[in-house]
Chain A
Amino acid sequence: MSSSPASTLPETPPPKPALEMERVTVTTLHDPTKSVLEDVNWTVNAGDFWAVAGLLRSGKSDLMALASGIMRSGQGICRVFGEELFASFEQDQLALRLRVGLVFDGGQLLHQLTLAENIALPLHYHWGHLDFDLGPRLKMLQAFTGIESWMQELPNSVTRNWQQRIGLARALALKPELLLLDSPLTGLDPRDTAWWVETISALAAGHPVLDDRPATVIVTGDNLRPWAGRATHFALLKDRRFVPLGTRAELAGHQEPLLRELLTDR
């Protein structure tokens, strides 16, 4: 009995979703009654690299906060790696939440701790009881930031950009699979911008700090141009709506007027 060549090819397994939002209303972190985005339907598959752009106060930070699980959605369902957020007790979802890393706009470091202590905090908190040496991992993370010589300083002693680098190292400490970055390029000079774009692209492709495993990345910003040749998928936040723009190839032909503004060279 013969079979056609097509039937003998192994089937490619469908990509697993890392993040799913169904008819979600995004509220603000400080006022759960105030919605900034409505009816968000969005699926991010494992291995995707999304760039989401929007103007000031379009809800970028709140969308990231919701996706990271620190905030409930006003309405709708938000799933991370197939599990609905806040569906069970917080303690039961700890393992799920540790698969997600969020880098806040500005880093949001703990100001009582040194930069080194900030990076070490999640490692010592979650892995401190385990019987292996955390030293090499800490050294790797410190080297990753490129500012090892400042590690004993307090956050207030270094620039916002460096605080954000520490925030990135802290988010990567527990090797998350889904990495969310809230406006990492805000206020950076060209050299720092290049560092962030290269680093995030390397993380999406597979970096030693994540054991060479490609991370699923979502990055927000008010300018899509730095990500145009890097991200695989794009979206806009406009008029309280989440507007998917499609892949890199689809981006070029898209007629969205705001897209032209967000792709301009600034």
Chain B
Amino acid sequence: MTGPGTVQNAMGNSTEGEAPARGMRSAPYYLGSAGRRLVRFLLDIHGLGAFALITLGVMVSKANVARVIIYPLALRQVYRAGVQLLPMATFLALALGLIVIGQTVSVLNRVGATNQFLGVVMVTAVVRELGPLLAAILVLCRAGAATVVELGTARALGEVEALEVLGIDPIHYFVVPRLVGMALGMFSLTVYLILGALLSGYFWAFLQDIQLFPGDYFRQMADSLNPLDFVLLGLKTAGFGSVIALVSCFHGLAQPLSITEVSRATVRAVGQSIVFCAFLEAFFIVVYLVS
């Protein structure tokens, strides 16, 4: 029997012919692989937690140490994670406005409520969810991945040991500026992206001949927003930036790497950053719903 039976055999549920034997051989392999991945992921969470605590300790204990070195480094990270990404953020803002407005108009047209809810939908979709998430993905791809490569290469070339010999804490020099810079850059970039998406949303609505004045559009949005939105937006974006910076720095620095392992560390960092950002997003949704 073929078709569904084949799937059944692979699952090890059938009792006919040779198939069960194949299924029995493959099941432990997949289980073992999944188990190893799970254990590795849990170990990474454990290591990442310790790394985050160490970084926090260094940030507090060395807040006033070597500011002439650390502040410019942090500003450079703000530039990389914020200013440098503005052209791409502008493009994404235009696309986001088009996507959200295009879909919303087609749905609201059916119920004849296009004019009343465009602003509300933009706040719900763009300000609360898609804006921060899209900015996080942008920062992760352009700044986070580059951070893993930079730090992994620095680690492989012995720069960490060079700093230690000079009495410079590698966490203070490499991680703290990136953490601060990415959190601030991420917040600024998200604000620009959201503003761009809201403006482009009105632009696309205008092109679709929706009878909605700008004042009404922005009034709908202002009525939908509440103070908690601004607080959560700040916390969420800073959280996304911090998570991306910590995961990137952890995979670049926390273990001895050779040059050939840098690409693998980058892939792992990107994957884990997405997972942790998704968890953070879920946490903020819960906070929003509860409050």
Which residues of A come within 8 Å of B, CB atoms?
29-30, 65, 68-70, 90-91, 94, 97-98, 100-102, 104, 108-112, 121-122, 124-126, 128-129, 170-171, 174
Q: B162 near A104 (CB under 8 angstroms)?
A: yes
Count chain B residues whose beta carbon lies closer than 8 angstroms to a beta carbon of A.
22
Q: B66 near A29 (CB under 8 angstroms)?
A: no
B181 to chain A, nearest CB (A): 14
Q: A121 near B166 (CB under 8 angstroms)?
A: yes
Assuming the A-B contacts A91-B61, A108-B159, are A125 and B168 also in contact, with contact meaning beta carbons closer than 8 angstroms in the complex? yes
Among the stretches B80-88, B150-158, B234-242, the one at the interface with A is B150-158
Q: A102 near B165 (CB under 8 angstroms)?
A: yes
- CB-CB under 8 A from B158, the residues of chain A are 104, 108
Question: Taking CB as reference atom, which chain B residue is nearest A101?
Answer: B165
Q: B69 near A124 (CB under 8 angstroms)?
A: yes
- CB-CB under 8 A from A70, the residues of chain B are 161, 164-165
Assuming the A-B contacts A110-B154, A170-B166, are A128 and B66 also in contact, with contact meaning beta carbons closer than 8 angstroms in the complex? yes
Asked if B5 is at the interface (CB within 8 A of a chain A CB), the reply is no
Q: B165 near A68 (CB under 8 angstroms)?
A: yes
- CB-CB under 8 A from A111, the residues of chain B are 153-154, 157, 159
Assuming the A-B contacts A30-B256, A91-B61, A108-B157, are A124 and B165 also in contact, with contact meaning beta carbons closer than 8 angstroms in the complex? no
- Assuming A104-B165, A108-B158, what are 10 further A-B pairs, CB within 8 angstroms? A29-B161, A69-B165, A97-B167, A108-B157, A111-B157, A124-B69, A125-B69, A126-B167, A128-B66, A174-B166
CA gap between A98 and B154 in the complex, in Å: 22
Question: Taking CB as reference atom, which chain B residue is nearest A71?
Answer: B161
CA gap between A97 and B153 in the complex, in Å: 25
CA gap between A101 and B164 in the complex, in Å: 11
Which of B66, B150, B157, B164 is close to A125, meaning CB atoms less than 8 Å apart? Answer: B66
> 24 A-B Cβ contacts within 8 A?
A29-B161, A30-B256, A70-B164, A91-B61, A102-B165, A104-B158, A104-B161, A104-B162, A109-B159, A109-B162, A110-B154, A110-B159, A111-B154, A111-B157, A121-B166, A121-B168, A122-B166, A122-B168, A124-B66, A125-B69, A125-B173, A128-B67, A129-B68, A171-B165
- CB-CB under 8 A from B164, the residues of chain A are 70
CA gap between A121 and B68 in the complex, in Å: 10
CA gap between A203 and B164 in the complex, in Å: 23
CA gap between A102 and B161 in the complex, in Å: 10
Q: Which of B49-69 contact A (CB under 8 A)?
A: 61, 66-69
- CB-CB under 8 A from B167, the residues of chain A are 94, 97-98, 122, 125-126, 174
Which of A65, A108, A112 is close to B150, meaning CB atoms less than 8 Å apart? Answer: A112
CA gap between A101 and B173 in the complex, in Å: 19
A195 to chain B, nearest CB (A): 22
- CB-CB under 8 A from B173, the residues of chain A are 125
- CB-CB under 8 A from A129, the residues of chain B are 66-68
- CB-CB under 8 A from B69, the residues of chain A are 121, 124-125, 128
- CB-CB under 8 A from A101, the residues of chain B are 165
A169 to chain B, nearest CB (A): 12
A161 to chain B, nearest CB (A): 17
A199 to chain B, nearest CB (A): 19
CA gap between A65 and B161 in the complex, in Å: 9
CA gap between A100 and B167 in the complex, in Å: 10
CA gap between A29 and B256 in the complex, in Å: 10
- CB-CB under 8 A from B256, the residues of chain A are 30
Binary CB contact string for chain B from 125 to 165 against chain A (1 if under 8 A, 0 otherwise): 00000000000000000000000001001100111011111
- CB-CB under 8 A from B163, the residues of chain A are 110
Residue of B69, B150, B167, B169 contacting most chain A CB atoms (<10 Å): B167
